[in-house]
Structure 1
């Protein structure tokens, strides 16, 4: 059974006439009769009662007519849905982001993308970077936005932006008068870090060890703003990306550049290698890449 057989049979049934159906289909009547007959032979049942002057459907024909209409509607719906998908009238994107990246960049990105594609469903999942990587690898997420470095054998990586990590201290801290600090200057400081499932947690510890000491971690949290408030209460210091400066209360918390070496903070999109990438996901990647180049070009070139 193929679509042409069903299409031709349905036209005959609607027209109650092979002659009218052949005219509507721009097909010769013998060819049309042959096609309907082949459908009856394939189904091993008579669909049309040809004994009367005006043809009529048999009981089996009524069933095939009803089901055939449903089949054709499904095919029409399939074509429409595929068209909508290809032209981004619908679709879905499931993204994993650490809260820090989310609060810095994503509200404007989501708003701009939704204005262009209002019917594409964006689902944001907030996790630490380590968990985002795992869920992209497991196929739970379409993509993740994380901090490099990332395993290039596991993921396809699309760089987004590059800025520096900075030291954040209370405005009364002894280091606040310095324009720059080195990591070794922080060996006796109490650190407030993101919890262990955040990439920045491991990164700061590695940088401290590289500078010759293991950090004294007094508090951990999954919320950047809570960490900022604890700094404001003189409970410790922390290290955040440069962009967080404009999100903090600068009367209480001050940011200082870290040098020798500076610590890059590189944000990238990751996708599982070999995983199918939908049209909606591709367009979202294109949009976020354009957004970051347009809005953070100066930081990328700094």
Structure 2
């Protein structure tokens, strides 16, 4: 049996749908169905039951899913162990990261790590929490960096960094000289947000309601760099990570003359965590990267 068949099988089980799995795997649905027919023939049992909206695993399918996770984990560990022996002379790190971590935090320390560890190669993808968790659980990535909270029986998490937010505004704004902005002052203030997703609904929105604040959410733009330009045009104040502002200042010399960022009170923040499978032994290269990253954050 080819390991690729087990990867295909796990993807279908995770998606619950052949069409979605085929899209993720970048193959056609007929080709995927043919491969699963081959797997069922090798197993001597039906693995799926077709339903109106997708598929469900049979008892045989559920047992194969349980064992396939162990098989693929052992294979990944064996392959990584051989790499770590230095047979190829190089290490390899495969990670997935939350977008803002990848854009505004990773560039602060990755060059230093690469310069100090020239024999380690990287493959880094970006994604949101659910996608990254799926990649790590499915062995597509060795580990991931996501926003807390994370809860899954197959994953363990290690706290990394607390990301703080502030209000980005034009230097001509009446608030620009303040040390902090009380949340109460956001009542009916034109506000530019990056998202109305789970983090907004579970944290920011309840805080607004608790303080009886009704902000005027004028624009929702899913890119902080676009928010920066809208604020530069004096169309409102934007809620952005302070790390993003610090990165912009390094690349745009004149930025500090046009834009400033002021912390809020209470502080708005979220926690980044490292996630990996409980049953997977961390590769030497990945361990070195995690240790370097933690040292950088602790010293900062």
Superposition TM-score tier, normalisation by shorter sequence: 0.5 to 0.7
Kindly tell me: are residues 92 and 267 of structure 1, through their superposed partners in 2, closer, same or farther at Cα, counting changes over 3 Å? same
> 1:225 — aligned with what?
225
Once the two structures are TM-superposed, the CA of residue 196 in structure 1 deviates from its matched residue by 5.2
- Residues 95-151 of structure 1: per-residue CA shift (max 9 Å, x gap): 222332223221243223323333432111123445434543444332222333333
**TM-score, normalised via structure 2 length:** 0.60
Per the TM alignment, residue 281 of structure 1 is displaced from its structure 2 partner at its CA by 1.9
Question: Equivalent residue of 2:175, what SS?
Answer: helix
2:258 corresponding residue in structure 1: 252
In the aligned structure 2, how far is the partner of 1:80 from the partner of 1:137?
17
* Residue 89 of structure 1 pairs with residue 89 of structure 2: yes
Match in the other structure for 1:267: 272
**Post-superposition offset of 1:282:** 2.0
Task: Answer whether contact 2:166 2:242 (CA < 8 A) is retained.
Answer: yes
CA distance in 2, matches of 1:81, 1:155: 19
- When Rg is computed on C-alpha atoms for both structures, the one with the higher figure is 1
Q: 1:213 to 1:268 in 2, by over 3 A?
A: same
Which of 185-194 and 84-93 deviates more? Answer: 84-93
8 Å CA contact 2:159–2:271 kept in 1: the answer is yes
Instruction: State how many pairs are aligned.
Output: 216
Q: CA deviation at 1:170?
A: 2.1
Write out per-residue CA displacement over residues 28-81 of structure 1, whole angstroms, 9 at most, x where no aligned residue: xxxxxxxxxxxxxxxxxxxxxxxxxxxxxxxxxxxxxxxxxxxxxxxxxxx999
User: Paired residue for 1:121?
Assistant: 121
Pairing 1:243–2:243 present: yes
Contact 1:99 1:223 (8 Å CA) reproduced: no
Equivalent-residue separation in structure 2 for 1:80 and 1:264 (angstroms) = 39
- Supply the distance in 1 between the matched residues of 2:176 and 2:164 (Cα, whole angstroms): 18
Q: Any stretches of 5+ residues in structure 2 without a counterpart?
A: 1-77, 250-254
Shift of the alpha carbon at 1:208?
Answer: 2.8
